[in-house]
Amino acid sequence: MAGFSTMAERPRALALRPLQLMIIVVALSTELGRSQPSIDGGRGDLPGMKQDMFDQVNRASKNRNQQRMGKAPPDCPKSDKMTPFMSMAFVGADLFVRLDSSEGTCHKLISVGGANLTELRNASLTCGPVGEWKKRIAEEMSAVFFQGGFEWVKNDNESIEVVTEEGTFQTEVSEAKYAQMMECWKAACGCEQANNPKMKIILFSLLICALGGLSYDSVKLALESFKETKPPKHVVSKKGHKMVEVAIQHRHICDKCGKTGTSYQCSGGSNYDLCTDCYKAERKKVKAKYREWLEKHPEDEDAKKKSKDEDKDKDDDDAKNAASGSEAGDKKDSKKESEPESDAPNSSEADKDGTTPQRSGDEEADDEKNEEEEK
């Protein structure tokens, strides 16, 4: 019996081997299809070509990969271009609407057709681009209702229930309202809830400041173009800073003549150097321009100060000249006084010698005159 059972099981094992081989081949072809986009170079996808099991496995793997890669929501169904609102405005997380008029007060929407704004938003996010859920609620209301499983009207001018903060209303859904709403919903349709007076005040203030600054700079630039500017008093760099004398820099290059070795540099820290010759030449030019400016503008403070200094120097010179003149006069008087004293010793010496000094004709005439007056 044991031998008989063994002989009977052999054909069954032989019959199972092709099935096992088939399973192995399908598994290998599936892995190969995942790793390779096309086994036969795409010839099996041509029209009229016979496809075998390997092509079918490859096509199934492609579909699975596409489903894995397609993470974006599917496209929304086509809208019927109808809406129950004449105007609408999104303000934060709320929606304000007008039902049958394009003017007046907008009221906060509670629900439409039994769906509140949160449910409409969730339904809108199930299809189309994620960032356009407000646009779908405004322009594709029928598609949002279809995605959310809510009941929507079937024909134009049918009524739907709308609940606002003012109460519950039955309003018509029509294409005319859709056309009116499409013209203004992106700009809030004039709803006062979308107006932010504080932000408007801030924006207008910023605008006024910007315009004021721009106009001030424009006027200042225009006046400077017409008005003659005062030249600098000292030699300055291109940045307008005063040039100061420093120790000679053998590796620096003069920005005027290109000569190596400079002795003056910008006091403001800019890379501007001058050699001694160029500095002296520039100094002469600067002084000449500055002196010419002061002569043309006597009302300038520096010009007034210069005239005061010149007057003071002139007074000092006059005082010095007067002092020198008085000193010269004193010296002359002292010299005249010293002359008779010097003559007196000579007469005494003549007396000692017993001789009379010689007298001039004028002195003799004066003596005669004095004698006659005495008589």
Q: Which two tokens stand for residue 236?
A: 């300055």
pLDDT at 27: 72
Helix (H) or strand (E) holding 321: helix 301-353
Yes or no: say if 89 and 193 are a contact pair by the CB < 8 Å rule. Answer: yes
**67 Cβ neighbours under 8 A, 6+ residues apart:** none
Burial status of residue 360 (CB atoms within 10 A of its CB: 0-12, 13-18, 19 or more)? exposed
The span from the CA of 265 to the CA of 237, in Å, is: 8
Instruction: Identify the weakest region by mean pLDDT among 43-57, 112-126, 196-210, 234-248.
Output: 43-57
The span from the CA of 106 to the CA of 193, in Å, is: 8
pLDDT at 279: 92
Q: Can you tell me the mean pLDDT for 131-160?
A: 90
C-alpha 298: how far from chain center: 43
Mean pLDDT rounded to a whole number for the chain: 75
Residue 235 has pLDDT above 70, yes or no: yes
Q: Can you tell me the mean pLDDT for 209-229?
A: 77
| Band of pLDDT at residue 348, cut at 50, 70 and 90 | very low
The string of pLDDT tens digits covering residues 70-112 is: 566 788 888 889 999 999 999 888 899 999 888 888 999 999 9
Residue 227 has pLDDT above 60, yes or no: yes
DSSP secondary structure letters along 35-101: H-S-SSTTGGGSTT----HHHHHHHHHHHHHHHHH--SPPPPPPP---BS-SEEEEETTEEEEESS-
Residue 261 has pLDDT above 50, yes or no: yes
pTM, to two decimals? 0.40
Phi and psi for 134 in degrees, rounded to 5? Answer: -65, -40
pLDDT at 367: 57
| Band of pLDDT at residue 294, cut at 50, 70 and 90 | confident
Closest residue by Cα to residue 104 from 117, 87, 90, 91: 87
The string of pLDDT tens digits covering residues 39-81 is: 555 555 555 566 666 677 777 776 665 554 556 678 888 888 9
Helix (H) or strand (E) holding 247: strand 243-253
Instruction: Identify the weakest region by mean pLDDT among 76-80, 134-138, 368-372.
Output: 368-372
pLDDT at 3: 47
Tell me the three state secondary structure of residue 132: helix
Residue 162 has pLDDT above 90, yes or no: yes
pLDDT at 65: 56
Residue 31 has pLDDT above 70, yes or no: no
Residue 17 has pLDDT above 50, yes or no: yes
Instruction: Identify the weakest region by mean pLDDT among 40-44, 203-207, 351-355.
Output: 351-355
Choice between 57 and 178, residue whose per-residue pLDDT is larger = 178
The span from the CA of 310 to the CA of 313, in Å, is: 5
Residue 315 has pLDDT above 60, yes or no: no
C-alpha 51: how far from chain center: 65
